[in-house]
Amino acid sequence: MNQTSTAADAAFAAELAQLRLHAGLSRRDLAEEVGIKPRDVGRSEAGQRRVHVVELFHWCQACGSSLDAFVERMDQRLALDTSLTSH
């Protein structure tokens, strides 16, 4: 796995966790809304589990967000990470 892919995986996992926290949802609450197990929420937020795009859509909906907003925030994370590592 290359550095860009690792950075993207980390940004994705961090954004998942941030999305849930900003919505004020527990892992259990989000899991019920999305239809997955609470441990799967934790594993996804830790980057240990892949999230299918349809699941991401439901995750965003449950947190009062959109896929577009999620992707925009993730792009910002990656841009910041790239600017920090390119110096």
Q: What's the number of domains the chain is made of? A: 1
Q: What is the pLDDT of residue 86?
A: 52
First to last CA, the chain: 22
Domain harbouring 46, CATH code: 1.10.260.40
pLDDT in tens, the chain (87 residues): 566 678 889 899 999 999 999 999 999 999 999 999 999 999 999 999 999 999 999 999 999 999 999 999 999 998 887 665 554
pLDDT at residue 84, rounded to an integer: 54
pLDDT at site 42: 97
Domain holding 31, by residue range, is: 3-85
What pLDDT, on a 0 to 100 scale, did the predictor assign at position 80? 86
